């Protein structure tokens, strides 16, 4: 006999990502009764600590620690074990931290809307329904598989999650797509010892960045032994005896590459397909992204969408800021919104990392702005011995300056510690600190930040 358990809460959160869990903690601390539903026990805490930021950056660390005498397969397997141990601890910690609160409950299962205030979790017998006056959707995003013959049926197709969890290092790895995900995995697996090929459809890598910065990044990847093919149109994947053959068109000619595994890093879409959002009256775009306003209200004012699912930048720290906006709506004065965001940085974790913020030179010139460009190769920065002490002098630092106000309009930092330096620059941009002030500031030594003392004076255009 089919039974149903009916529960109610002040706030229902669907998805255990950064935005959802942050809001859930704040709301329970404020005395609200919160129920959070996560479809998989492997995803407590969301993408970042389980299959995203934390494990991939841990693999960056491990891969850069590999010595010549280390046997590749054994070193890789031990690295994956280290990742598993950390992510397992994070999962348990995330679950206990929330479910252990008196006014919070975590339910594991797939959620689907029944109406605008009610969801059902599970199928058939023992289905649980949850009703709440306020609902937060934080279900994240999922990979998009390209419509290429043989991709979906190939036994050699791997996802980013597969790569993070599998202990067998592929001798050959092909990555279809040269975006952030593709380049990070290319760098990681090349450092571990795989033969890596990137097949990118665009005519160059990092097409949104200035060409001079992208060229330096591409040169670093190629210098590490990664084969980079741009202008590559993949047409077919065919499984063979123990490997797959990938066919692609390049420059009018057909080519093939044989591989043990391939990653389709061709973008992600909002994970909304199974939520039955139509029953809740929540509108989505054609791609499934939930439509929200600047306060993250969906077309149902009591339902909010946080993180990748709402179509914003796909970064954990943006999901965190989404939580701040929703918390302000539910517990504060309701003034905070997405239009308050200024100078949001991002980092591509290749080795060394590329961090950017604000406008590129191309974008600034297209807008007709009166700009100056400050640029210097890392190897030439006298004021940055940090690069030499860690034996990583590859890269470039570039700044776009407003010639009339001396404010920083944008920056690209391709260097050791770029992921840290960019935060100082972004804060300066948000607080309207001038380039001269940054150039003349006192920084610790030896550090990467002190490169600003020199580079901001190297006006090249």
Alpha carbon distance 218, 209 (integer Å): 12
Alpha carbon distance 212, 350 (integer Å): 17
The answer to whether the beta carbons of residues 156 and 31 sit under 8 Å apart is no
Distances (CA, A) of 33 to 30, 95, 293: 9, 16, 26
Alpha carbon distance 201, 203 (integer Å): 7
DSSP bridge partners of 255: 248
| 61 noted as active-site residue | no
Alpha carbon distance 427, 137 (integer Å): 30
Q: Which of 117, 255, 297, 445 is an active site residue?
A: 445
What is the distance, to the nearest Å, from the Cα of residue 256 to the centroid of all Cα atoms in its chain? 30
In degrees, rounded to 5, the angle at the alpha carbon of residue 166 between the alpha carbons of residues 247 and 91 is 130
- The residues carrying an active-site annotation are 445
């Amino acid at each position: 006999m089919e039974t149903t358990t009916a529960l109610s809460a002040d706030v229902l959160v669907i998805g255990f990502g950064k935005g959802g869990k942050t809001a859930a903690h704040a709301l329970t601390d404020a005395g609200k009764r919160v129920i959070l539903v996560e479809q998989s026990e492997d995803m407590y805490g969301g993408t970042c600590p389980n299959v995203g930021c934390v494990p991939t950056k841990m693999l960056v660390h491990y891969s850069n620690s590999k010595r010549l005498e280390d046997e590749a397969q054994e070193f890789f397997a031990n690295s994956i074990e280290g990742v598993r141990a950390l992510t397992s601890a994070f999962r348990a910690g995330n679950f206990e931290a929330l479910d252990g609160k008196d006014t919070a409950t975590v339910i594991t299962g797939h959620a689907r809307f029944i109406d605008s205030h009610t969801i059902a979790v599970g199928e058939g017998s023992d289905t649980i329904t949850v009703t709440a006056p306020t609902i937060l959707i934080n279900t994240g995003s999922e990979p998009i598989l390209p419509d290429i013959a043989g991709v979906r049926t190939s036994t050699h197709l791997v996802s980013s999650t597969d790569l993070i969890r599998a202990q067998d290092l592929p001798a050959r790895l092909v990555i279809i797509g040269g975006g952030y995900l593709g380049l990070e995995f290319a760098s990681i697996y090349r450092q571990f010892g795989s033969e890596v090929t990137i097949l990118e459809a665009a005519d160059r890598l990092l097409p949104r960045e200035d060409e001079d910065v992208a060229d330096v990044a591409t040169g670093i990847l190629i210098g590490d032994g990664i084969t980079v093919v741009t202008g590559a149109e993949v047409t077919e994947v065919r499984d063979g005896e123990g490997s797959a053959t990938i066919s692609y068109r390049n420059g009018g000619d057909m080519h093939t590459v044989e591989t043990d595994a391939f990653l389709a890093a061709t973008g992600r879409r909002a994970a909304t397909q199974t939520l039955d959002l139509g029953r809740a009256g929540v509108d989505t775009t054609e791609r499934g992204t939930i439509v929200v306003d600047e306060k993250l209200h969906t077309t149902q004012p009591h339902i909010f969408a946080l993180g990748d699912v709402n179509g914003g930048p796909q970064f954990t720290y943006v999901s965190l800021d989404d939580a701040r906006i929703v918390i302000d709506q539910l517990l504060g004065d309701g003034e905070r919104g997405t239009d308050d965001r200024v100078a949001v940085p991002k980092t591509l974790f290749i080795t060394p990392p590329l961090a950017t913020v604000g406008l590129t030179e191309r974008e600034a010139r297209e807008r007709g702005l009166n700009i100056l460009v400050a640029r210097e190769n890392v190897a030439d920065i006298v004021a940055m011995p940090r690069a030499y002490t860690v034996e990583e002098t590859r890269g470039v630092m570039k700044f776009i300056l407003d010639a009339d106000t001396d404010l920083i309009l944008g920056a690209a930092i391709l260097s050791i510690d770029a992921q840290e330096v960019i935060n100082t620059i972004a804060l300066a941009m948000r607080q309207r600190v001038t380039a001269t002030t940054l150039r003349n500031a006192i920084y610790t030594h030896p550090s990467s930040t002190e490169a600003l003392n020199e580079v901001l004076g190297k006006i090249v255009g």
